Amino acid sequence: MTLCFATNNKGKILEIKTILGKKFEIQSLQEIGCHEELPETKDTIEGNSLQKAEYVWENYGVNCFSDDSGLEVSALNGAPGVYSAMYAGPTCDTKNNIVLLLKNMEGKEDRSALFRTCITLIINGEMHQFEGTVKGKILKTRQGEKGFGYDPIFQPEGFDNSFAEMTLEDKNKISHRGTAVRKLVEYLTKL
């Protein structure tokens, strides 16, 4: 079966190709002729994930899946959540997003947080969603250089290291994305 992964992130495509093996041919957006930005205008992670997969299905008629993730911080009422990538506004980048999050967490006792991924799969018009979460806490300072995004300030529950101090392999074993991808793969391999 051929499936389009509705993302422009080459790293994510490579990762899923490695996991799924030869039974599934994974196509990028470019390979199906989609060169425009996918819409991501919903206010939930599930909503954005669905919106991207629906866009590809409705405009290109190919079986596909998409993912959307975010970091939900309890003391900030779930922020940055669906807005994780653009938290610091016009000047948003990884560094500024972390600086703002640490500033907004100053003086907060409850540092608990949750990373969440929602994958939406559409096969022949039928939709399925797969969720992955990982609980943890927001550290007071950056720790580690690996990974991306908020990895240096997120310490998963039951571990002494931040995500940015773990190998990608170890992070994937417990991460929100790793869990959601494993659920997707389990579903696909039963087809």
What residues are labeled active site? 68
**Distance between CA atoms of 24 and 62, rounded to whole angstroms?**
14
Task: Please report whether residue 165 would count as binding ligand IMP according to CB under 6 A.
Answer: no
Task: Please report whether residue 178 would count as binding ligand IMP according to CB under 6 A.
Answer: no
Closest distance to ligand IMP from the beta carbon of 159 (Å): 14
Of the candidate spans 22-30, 118-126, 141-149, 182-190, the one that interacts with ligand IMP by CB under 6 A turns out to be 141-149
Closest-approach residue to ligand IMP (CB): 149
Residue 36, φ and ψ in degrees, nearest 5: -90, 165
User: Are the C-beta atoms of 116 and 82 separated by less than 8 Å?
Assistant: no
Of the candidate spans 24-32, 55-63, 100-108, 143-151, the one that interacts with ligand IMP by CB under 6 A turns out to be 143-151
Q: Within its chain, how far is the Cα of 164 from the centroid?
A: 16
Half-sphere exposure of 87 (CA within 13 A, CB side): 26
Closest distance to ligand IMP from the beta carbon of 7 (Å): 8
Closest distance to ligand IMP from the beta carbon of 1 (Å): 24
Strands (E), 25-111: 25-27, 64-73, 80-81
69 contacts: CB under 8 Å, gap ≥ 6: 45, 84, 115, 116, 117, 118, 176, 177
Task: Please report whether residue 148 would count as binding ligand IMP according to CB under 6 A.
Answer: yes
Task: Please report whether residue 168 would count as binding ligand IMP according to CB under 6 A.
Answer: no
Would you tell me which residues interact with ligand IMP (CB under 6 A)? 67-71, 84-85, 115, 147-151, 163, 175, 177
